Amino acid sequence: MQFSKKWIAGFVVTQILLVNFTFASDDQPYWPQFHGPIGDNISTETGLLSQWPEGGPELLWQAEGMGEGYSSVSLANGLIYTAGNIEDQTVVFALNLNGEIEWQSKCGPAWTQSFPGTRSTPTLDNDRLYFESPLGDLVCLNAQTGKQLWGKNLLKEFGGENIKWALAESPIIDGDNLICCPFGSQGSVVALDKMTGETVWAAQAVDDKAGYATPTIVEFAGRRIVLAMSGQAMVGVAADTGQLLFRYEHLTKYDVNALKPVYADGQVFISSGYKAGSEMVKLTATGSEITATRAWESKDMDNHHGGVIHLDGYIYGADSSRNWVCFDWKTGETKYTDRGVGKGSLTCADGLLYTLSEDRGRMGLVKPTPTGHELISEFTIPAGGKGKSWAHPVVCGGRLYVRHGDLLFAFNVQAPK
């Protein structure tokens, strides 16, 4: 059978259009930053398994070559992004949905001291990818090719010092800006032009070093506020101007404030490990001033860095004594403590919690209810990964992604149709 050149050309154009349509369609898995599209670590996916088979859900693939690191994954445009140490370099990776590496990009020297490896999760914004190394090297990459578009060192630029276990925040997008928290002498929280890396504003310095937490942007009393954790406090900064609004002291051993602030109804939940415990902070607006005061506190959860989920008026997360804890959001009442799979991190999808232990590689499927820690199913991820399982799990596109050291696993958690 023969085809005319005109028909062939039309066929090729049609296929290109179809490819482009698929590339930009809503069917592509989308988890563009640490803790998901709106930063609450709650997936909107439905139709997932409500119980896992014995031995766990199907392992679709196992990828290796990510290097040392605790970076989680972000997903968009048919690619999966993460990072790790390769020899003495920090490297960002893009994998396709089959677990094959599409590109890798060096982003400065690696952190090789205590707990070597990357911490930050890549942040995607349209065709650009942003990543911050433990040493403060911030890069903007082409998301499809990995080519570096701009870069700078946040600590050098803003007069900051690195911290005991190195920088761990994931930068976040705010409109045309990229928000970072170097806590240096030339700026505590800063906004950079996401296209050029130029400084838009730098909030007043405070006498704190950086924390380990990713910032949160909220709306309160008609104002947009960046909530950021230094090593010694939570600060509030006007997102549009960089004005420092408040500093609320929250001290912990080793200055480890690693939990991303969790906001709802004019209140902010913060928690830190090493017996520092948890606090609910109430925001109050008086004219142009914003003040922060304690609403309640509890020592029943000292969340290290595994994160918490706020769902239906309750907070779920692990404490440093390896128990899983549930608080009433309004009152701080402890609803339960339970061993579960052991201390670790979590995410939420289709109304269930996915809990990952940091030591044993155990994944748990938990019904979020204040009446008790209802562990529906559990399984152990495959062996081979080194170090702690500190990368937060991600559920996206019907899959559960678990990073452990050099390895990345993809499990099928989609319910049969």
Quick one: pLDDT at residue 19?
32
pLDDT score of 354 more than 90 = yes
Looking at residue 9, its pLDDT comes to 35
CA distance readout (Å), 252 to 179, 185, 277, 305, 401: 24, 22, 9, 13, 31
Task: Go through the domains of the chain in sequence order and give each one's CATH number.
Answer: 29-412 (2.130.10.10)
Say which amino acid occupies 287. Answer: G
CA distance 48 to 416: 8
Neighbours of 411 (CB within 10 A): 24
Residue type at 228? Answer: A
> What is the average per-residue pLDDT within 71-89?
98
Confidence of residue 21 (pLDDT cuts 50, 70, 90): very low
What is the per-residue pLDDT for 24?
A: 36
Give the tokens for residue 383.
Answer: 């062996």
Residue 16 has pLDDT above 70, yes or no: no
- Dig out the tokens for 355 from the structure: 């809990």
Strands 101-109 and 223-229: unpaired
DSSP string, 158-194: HT----TT------EEETTEEEE---BTTBSSEEEET
In tens, the pLDDT along 96-126 reads: 999 999 999 999 999 999 999 999 999 999 9
Evaluate if residue 206 carries a pLDDT over 60. yes
pLDDT in the model for residue 27: 76
Query: Whose structure tokens read 């349509």?
Result: 21
* Calpha distance 115→189 (Å, rounded): 26
Query: What does the DSSP 8-state code read for residue 144?
Result: T
Alpha-carbon span 365 to 135, nearest angstrom: 35
CA separation for the pair 325, 113 (Å, rounded): 32
For residues 309 and 324, give the distance between their C-alpha atoms in angstroms, rounded to a whole number.
Answer: 12
Q: How far apart are CA 92 and CA 88, in angstroms?
A: 13
Q: Is the pLDDT score of 13 beyond 50?
A: no
Q: Which residues 6+ apart lie within 8 Å of 287 measured at CB?
A: none
- What tens digit of pLDDT does each residue of 212-245 get? 999 999 999 999 999 999 999 999 999 999 999 9
Query: So what's the pLDDT on residue 26?
Result: 56
Residues shown for the chain: 417
Within 10 A of 294 (CB to CB), how many other CB atoms are there? 11
pLDDT digits 0-9 by tens, 164-180: 999 999 999 999 999 99
Six-digit token pair at 147? 């080519």
Strands 79-86 and 89-96 turn out to be: antiparallel
Strands 79-86, 223-229: pairing kind = unpaired
Q: What is the pLDDT of residues 306-315, one digit of tens each?
A: 999 999 999 9
Report the C-alpha gap between 3 and 11 in whole angstroms.
10
Average pLDDT score over residue span 266-280: 98
Please, what is the average pLDDT of the chain? Answer: 94
pLDDT of residue 360: 84
Count Cβ atoms within 10 A of the Cβ of residue 312 and give its class: 0-12 exposed, 13-18 middle, 19 or more buried: exposed
Whole-number pLDDT of residue 399: 98
Give the C-alpha separation, 324 to 332, whole Å. 15
- Between the alpha carbon of residue 156 and those of residues 112, 162, 290, 335, the distances in Å are 19, 10, 31, 45
